[in-house]
Amino acid sequence: MSHFVQNTLSGLKKLLDNTNQMKLISYEGEVREVTCSFNTEAITAEIEKFENENSKLPEDYKAFLTLHNGARIYESIGEDGGKLGDGLEIFSLDEIKEHQEIEYLREHGIPIAHLLNDCYLILDTEKLKSGDPNYLNIMEFTELSSLNLNFEIFLDRYIISQGEAFWSWIIYTAENYYETR
């Protein structure tokens, strides 16, 4: 299987200005300014060491790590120019280890990212062992659910949706949308 993680990230980077910022359109026409930042790549030896100490990582996620050992995507910029700490924070290998120390995350798999308000992306190690390609779960507060996606499809859709919670769009209909806003 070929991975398109690099193409997705290259496309995003083409839209950033020289300060790694861009404007996005959000719900109901709101325009917001965001920034993206990318760590340097992880070397193969670091990835192998992590896998030896923990669990085998999926190939598409390792493809990301060989480009960037962590990133922040669509972090909002406040009116004062400061970063607001939201968006998608994809952990570095060291940050994954730190988050694995949190029991309620560790018991569900390998936490690889934090997003929105108290949501985590978690690699389901049982699905990975069984070869299930839909190994990515989301923990929203304390509720764990399958996204029925792998990492690169999640990343691609997250970038295309400009940082919105695309996985919940199906629950909003013309009947209930206005009640939930």
Coil, strand, or helix at residue 30? coil
Contacts for 12 with CB less than 8 Å, ≥ 6 apart: 36, 73, 159
pTM of the model: 0.92
Q: For the chain, what is the mean pLDDT?
A: 91
Query: pLDDT value at position 67?
Result: 97
Query: pLDDT value at position 171?
Result: 74
Coil, strand, or helix at residue 99? helix
Helix or strand run (H / E) with residue 97: helix 93-100
- Amino acid letter, 83: K
Closest alpha carbon to 123 in 143, 102, 142, 144: 144
pLDDT digits (tens, 9 = 90+) for 73-125: 999 998 888 888 899 999 999 999 999 998 888 899 999 999 977 899 999 99
pLDDT digits (tens, 9 = 90+) for 134-154: 999 999 988 999 999 999 999
Point out which residues pair with 83 in neighbouring strands.
Answer: 77
- Whether the per-residue pLDDT at 53 is higher than 80: the answer is yes
Point out which residues pair with 73 in neighbouring strands.
Answer: 88
Residue 60 has a CB neighbour count (10 Å cut-off) of 21
CA 108 to chain centre: 17
